[in-house]
Each structure stands twice: as structure tokens, then as C-alpha cells.
């Protein structure tokens, strides 16, 4: 049966393709069952490596079934076909953070604070439930039509048992030095580093490190964070970025310390973080 046929049988009418990855395609569909349009990520296991099929994909599906948070993409249903295709039916997004930054050049600090508060509230939820994302980046942070943050793409996520991780995964531009050096690392602290890169990108419109050369990237990571000449940020915001981009994982904050940082401690934001 065709993709459209399988989905039609489940009550979904495919409208158009809205995205595509190396091993998946995302389509927009209308749904009478849910009373709204949905995004459907279609994964074909037949073109995936054995490692992805046997390790990464089962982890992703297990996590997607249980995560429930206002700022994590809502998954309505997971459909498995007998032809090896998996259909992940989820809440659609209007755009992603990377596209928003490109559209606006950079996000004003006050608005970035509100958005970042939603991001860290989702990561706090994940870490409290011993889930690490391991691929936090602007492309994987979605925005709804009313500018609500939704963290997505759990393809590299896993449950953590508090033991050091030895797997390199994620994106080079958002990777901390311990991953680049290939040493065992705390995946929660790696998520924090990625959050530091996200906040830097939001508020400056660019990435903090040139990732085209790993040696130069590691050298730059050992230095103080450098800002573009036209970046106008409060010292408190810069302090938080530097804290999250600390070269030593032991000195890098955990997610609660990020939430407790003065830059985020405003009365109108604390409740959002606690969700």
C-alpha cells in the first residue's frame, strides 16, 4: 500500500511535503481525528544502517512515546507499517529557530530571554527524567505560529544512567571540547554546552566558533568567548553564555544552575521555567 493509502486508512489526508532529511521526509496532513493539521515524519527503515535501526531509532521512539511537556514537540501517534516504514504523527511548526534568526539577523535580548526560558524549561524536564537530547541546535528548536518553542528531533537522544558516554553524536558547531577530543563525557553537560551555542546564536546571529577546522575550533573553545563588534548584550547575558561554554564540564553549570542564573531570574519568567 502507498504512503498516502496507509495514512488515509488511519484518517490522515496528505496535503504536501514540508521537509526532508537524509533518511526521512515530513508531510503536512489534515486530520479529522485530531481536528487539526499534523506533521508526519516518514522514516523508511530499509535505507537505514543497522546501528540506527537497532539502537538509535528504538531509543527515539521509546522517548517520543513518553515525553509530555509544553515546549517539546507533541507526538500524537506512531504508526508502523509491515513494509518497514514508520510514521510519526506530531504537532506541526511554523518555522524553526535557525530560520527565524536568518530572517531577523538576530533576536533582541528581551525576546531571546523569553524564548530561551522555554528552551531551558524543556531541557530541565528532560534531564529530570534522565533523558539527554544530544543534538540541541537551532535547527531542532521549532516555533509554532504563536512563537511557542517546541524542541524536536530526538534521533540521538537516550536515557542516561549517570555513566560517562563514549558516543560522538550531534552537530560539530554545537559540540563541546570533550566530544571533539573523543573522551568519555557527561551527556547532560554536553547538552548545556549546546544551549550556550544556541543562546549565542540567538543574540548575535552567528555561531561562536568556526567549525570548519577541528583544531582551530578546539583552540578557540579554550579562549574567552568573542562577540561580533555590533553585538549589544547585557553583561548578565554574556556571563550566562560564558558559564555554559566553560571548557571544563565540571565547572559548567547543570540545567538548574542555568535556570537560577540572574539573567533568567525575573518574576515573570520563573513560572515559565517551572512548567
Q: Which residues are catalytic?
A: 135
What values do phi and psi take at 130, rounded to 5?
55, 40
Q: Annotate 45-102 with DSSP letters as a single string.
A: GGGS-HHIIIIIHHHHHHHHHH---TTBPPEEEEEE-TTSEEEEEE---SEEHHHHHH
Measured CA angle at 94 (ends 90, 96), to 5 deg: 90
Closest by CA to 92, choosing from 12, 169, 156, is: 12
Instruction: Please answer whether residues 92 and 243 qualify as being in contact, where contact means their C-beta atoms are separated by less than 8 angstroms.
Output: no
Closest by CA to 40, choosing from 50, 31, 53, 48, is: 31
Q: Enter the C-alpha cell of residue 145.
A: 505560529
Closest by CA to 77, choosing from 12, 169, 170, 27, is: 12
Q: Enter the C-alpha cell of residue 161.
A: 544512567
Amino acid at each position: 500500500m502507498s504512503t498516502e493509502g496507509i495514512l488515509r486508512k488511519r484518517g490522515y489526508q496528505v496535503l504536501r511535503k514540508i521537509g526532508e532529511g537524509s533518511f526521512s521526509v515530513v508531510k503536512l496532513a489534515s486530520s479529522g481525528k485530531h481536528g487539526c493539521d499534523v506533521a508526519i515524519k516518514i522514516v523508511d527503515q530499509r535505507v537505514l544502517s543497522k546501528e540506527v535501526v537497532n539502537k538509535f531509532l528504538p531509543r527515539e521512539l521509546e522517548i517520543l512515546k513518553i515525553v509530555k511537556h509544553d515546549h517539546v514537540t507533541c507526538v500524537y501517534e506512531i504508526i508502523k507499517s509491515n513494509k518497514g516504514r514508520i510514521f510519526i504523527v506530531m504537532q506541526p511548526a511554523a518555522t524553526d529557530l535557525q530560520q527565524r534568526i536568518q530572517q531577523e539577523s538576530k533576536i533582541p535580548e528581551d525576546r531571546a530571554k523569553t524564548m530561551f526560558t522555554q528552551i531551558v524549561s524543556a531541557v530541565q524536564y528532560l534531564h529530570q527524567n534522565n533523558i539527554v537530547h544530544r543534538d540541541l541546535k537551532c535547527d531542532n528548536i521549532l516555533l509554532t505560529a504563536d512563537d511557542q518553542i517546541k524542541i524536536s528531533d530526538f534521533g540521538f537522544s537516550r536515557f542516561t544512567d549517570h555513566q560517562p558516554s563514549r558516543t560522538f553524536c550531534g552537530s560539530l558547531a554545537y559540540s563541546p571540547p570533550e566530544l571533539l577530543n573523543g573522551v568519555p563525557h557527561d551527556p547532560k553537560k554536553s547538552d548545556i554546552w549546546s544551549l550556550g551555542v544556541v543562546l549565542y546564536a540567538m543574540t548575535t546571529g552567528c555561531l561562536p566558533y568556526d567549525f570548519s577546522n577541528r583544531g582551530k575550533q578546539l583552540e578557540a573553545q579554550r579562549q574567552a568567548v568573542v562577540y561580533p563588534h555590533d553585538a549589544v548584550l547585557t553583561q548578565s547575558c554574556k556571563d550566562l553564555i560564558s558559564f555554559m561554554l566553560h571548557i571544563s564540564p565540571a565547572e559548567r553549570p547543570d540545567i538548574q544552575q542555568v535556570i537560577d542564573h540572574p539573567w533568567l531570574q525575573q518574576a515573570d519568567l520563573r513560572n515559565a521555567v517551572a512548567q
